[in-house]
Amino acid sequence: MFNERYLYLSLDLLSISLPFVYSFYSPAPFYKKWKHLWIAILIPALFFIVWDEWFTQMGVWGFNPRYLTGIYIGSLPLEEVLFFICIPYACVFTYHALNYLVKKDYVGPYQTKITWILVAALVILGAIHYDKWYTAVTFFLLAAFLIILTVFIKPDYLGRFYFSYLFILIPFFIVNGILTGSFIEEQVVWYNPAEQIDFRMGTIPFEDTFYGMLLIVMNVSILEYLQKRKIPQA
């Protein structure tokens, strides 16, 4: 019989398992990106873990011990820390796989328009809900990061990122749905309703979609930078 204390840990491990196995698919070997990938995962992970610790101590969100192994790093359960490694690995693998499978960049010609529309919407919603910590911080940070990318970095991969994120949202809704109480008796992760918009997609807070987008676009951006930077000639 499955021990519910391992539910969150199981979700982490299941999320990374298939992407890890298929990382060795010879026509598109993802494992060859590991040198840069782990840097691209760990830098955002450190940022998000600090943010997570801060919000946990503030009571913006918290964790149900019923579904946890009981191992903590600071205020965060081990499973939450692993989330910022396992989920980005799976999502960046999806981005890599779609780049291999879909050669044409269908969204690329529109990436700048999409970005500015998204930034405008995020800033407006963040300003309207400035008194809600989760909403305001998430929306303003994502808007700021997209502005930095568009104005200073001028990436050519944002269209492919937006395209892949549509596919990433499918497993996202499954995993995050379970974490927020779908299909189980209680929530694994609970949220303070005073610190978020009163709108959920099933059991998933609206903000989670953009929190996840910020995490993955940071992963992808760092990976793309590390892969494309020129090595100085001797």
Could you tell me the residue ranges of all domains in the chain? 4-225
Report strand pairing: 204-205 vs 200-201: antiparallel
Dihedral angle at the C-alpha atoms of 40, 43, 44, 47, nearest 10 degrees?
180
pTM for this entry = 0.96
Q: Are 135 and 125 in contact (CB under 8 A)?
A: yes
Percentage with pLDDT > 70 across the chain: 98
pLDDT at 129 over 90: yes
What is the share, in percent, of the chain residues with pLDDT greater than 90?
97
- pLDDT tens digit sequence for 155-188: 999 999 999 999 999 999 999 999 999 999 999 9
Residues paired with residue 48 on neighbouring β-strands, in sequence order: none
Give the pLDDT confidence of 44-60 residue by residue, as tens digits: 999 999 999 999 999 99
Quickly tell me which residue has 């946990």 as its tokens: 56
| 2 torsion bin: left (phi>0), alpha (psi -120 to 50), beta (else) | beta
105-129 core/surface letters (b: 16 or more CB in 10 A; e: else): eebeeebeeebeebbeebbebbeeb
Tell me: the pLDDT tens digits for 212-231?
Answer: 999 999 999 999 999 998 54
Q: Is the pLDDT of residue 32 over 90?
A: yes
d(CA 77, CA 63): 8
